[in-house]
Chains A and B, each alone.
Chain A
């Protein structure tokens, strides 16, 4: 199975500041035939199910604020929250869907400093 490793496990950021979450896969999730990275990002707020933020590594899901951005290719990916808002407190997960079974990172908890 492809192992997804996120860093850091948790971070505390001041309101209005940038939050950066990294995700690394144990093998490339870039499919050469279509040049797409099979990588998704989810946000899970306390007591709620996960919510899709990005797919194909950088395609923003409808309704996701543009302060969120996804980037990266191959084995290294980043989720950035450019100006942290109080409602962004959550655990964030990356997921690869390049190989079966799809696997998730362990999650990164984002809190307000």
Chain B
């Protein structure tokens, strides 16, 4: 059974940092691209970032580029999102989401959909 368990959310002041983690199990972690997708309270879904199965390719939404860094540790089956220079508009539930394919990207960007999602971790940016 595929399981994705996020952690690391919380309350942080504007300009602060947080590191989210997503522990994965039940599938070949290194074979799947992984993503972070967020949802502001009462709002819709926004793709944030993706990383290839090997970790060699990373992709970001323009809204977080230069502030967020996605990474993965295949030895720990864990996905990370380092979030710096946080803003009020980053307040959201952050979901870890798995791409069913090992590919789905090229030199221009990432083109994935998501077959499994974690329960999410809430990030609140407020003073």
What number of A-B contacts does a CB cutoff of 8 Å give? 60
What is the interface of chain B mostly: helix, strand, loop, or mixed? loop
* In-complex Cβ contact of B45 among A38, A50, A61, A98 (8 A): A50
Determine the residue in chain B with the shortest Cβ distance to A107: B44
Given the complex of chains A and B, what is the CA–CA distance between A96 and B109 in angstroms?
A: 14
A108 to B61, CA, bound (A): 24
Q: Mark B94-106, 1 if CB is under 8 A from A, else 0.
A: 0100001000100
Interface size class of A (residues with CB under 8 A): 20 to 34
Residues of chain B within 8 A (CB-CB) of A107 are: 44-45
A 24-57 to B, binary, CB cutoff 8 A, 1 in contact else 0: 0000000000000010101000001111100100
Chain A contact residues, CB within 8 Å of chain B: 38, 40, 42, 48-52, 55, 61, 93, 95, 97-107
Residues of B within 8 A of A (CB): 44-47, 59, 61-62, 95, 100, 104, 108-120
